[in-house]
Structure 1
Amino acid sequence: MPVTDITKDLDNRMLTITADFAAPVDRVWELYADPRQLEKVWGPPSHPATFDAHELTVGSTTKYYMTGPEGEKYYGTWQLTDVDAPRSFAFEDRFADADYAPAEGMPVSYNTYAFEPTESGTRAVFTTTYDTAEALQQVLDMGVEEGATSAINQIDDFLAA
């Protein structure tokens, strides 16, 4: 399984997931840059993703939704704030409604995805910060740790296919 470490730090309002992939940095970057590939691994297997807009350029807005087992849809957006291809990108991730407007009362996360070469492939460090410890706890209670882990753990198989 690619996920090798998960650190929850409520004092600093941060969730960090580390994963090691058996593919070079350029190939992992390609997965995150291509919405059709990213759809295959963004959500957990029970909640596949669909990207309506996605481009890894500063200032762009990604629009996506995940579809649950009963057909329910969960919408979100990314606002890209930094891109250093193929090493890292940063974005604000928001829950959204079906029109991609920010969902009232839902936490916003600030994310940095960083990729470094290793002898066997790529180490990815996914760092997510929230405005408050309560916001981090809210998404932890919603299952973000389990969902992110199961999504990330699909990546090696996808890249090998």
Structure 2
Amino acid sequence: MTVVSVEKDPVARTLTITAEFGAPAERVWRLWADPRTLERWWFPPGVTATVHEHDLTPGGRVTYDCETPDGPRSGSWDVRHVDEPRRVEFGLDSPGVPPTSARITVADRPGGTRVTIVVWFAADADMELLLSIGFDRGLSAAVAQGDALLA
């Protein structure tokens, strides 16, 4: 089982995706820690991505280019906090997309690992815009690719 819940909280302006994997936390952490794996998992199916800079340390940056059905896009993460292999927090910056922040928590569970991804939107309108273009569906589809990469 991968994605177990997708919760949208308009009052808190958050999107929370919870997923479970049948692999230990250290292996699940590699989904973010390895740039080649990140290219194959953090982006929805059908999106080809290339990670250029990958400094997963506080104050570091992750930069990428991707080819989407709507054309090319670039973006970056400003890494704010890392507690390997348990938590990473970053700000997302992509031209034409409202800025957001994310926290990913990796926790042991019987038989594997639970991952909780919380995305914060700066304003109500930002959340409404991103959800209207399917941000929640895209991120859920991306996360669902984790099982295949961990197999």
TM-score category, normalised to shorter length = over 0.9
One of 133, 136, 149 as aligned partner of 1:145: 136
Q: Residue type matched to 1:147 in 2?
A: G
Runs of 4+ in 1 over 4 A off after TM superposition: none
Measure, in 1, the Cα distance between the counterparts of 2:10 and 2:131.
10
- How is 1:84-103 mapped onto 2 (pairs within 5 angstroms)? 84-96=83-95, 103=96
CA RMSD of aligned residues (A): 1.2
Q: Residue type matched to 2:122 in 1?
A: D
Give the number of aligned pairs.
Answer: 151
Q: Residue type matched to 2:41 in 1?
A: V
Secondary structure at 2:42 match in 1: coil
Q: TM-score, normalised on structure 2?
A: 0.95
Contact kept, 8 Å, 1:42 with 1:152, in 2: the verdict is yes
Contact kept, 8 Å, 1:39 with 1:51, in 2: the verdict is yes
Give aligned-pair identity as a percent.
35
For structure 1, which runs of at least 5 residues remain unmatched after alignment? 97-102
Deviation at 1:66, TM superposition (A): 2.0
Q: TM-score, normalised on structure 1?
A: 0.89
- How is 1:1-161 mapped onto 2 (pairs within 5 angstroms)? 1-69=1-69, 72-96=71-95, 103=96, 106-160=97-151
Secondary structure at 2:88 match in 1: strand
For structure 2, which runs of at least 5 residues remain unmatched after alignment? none
Measure, in 2, the Cα distance between the counterparts of 1:25 and 1:112.
16
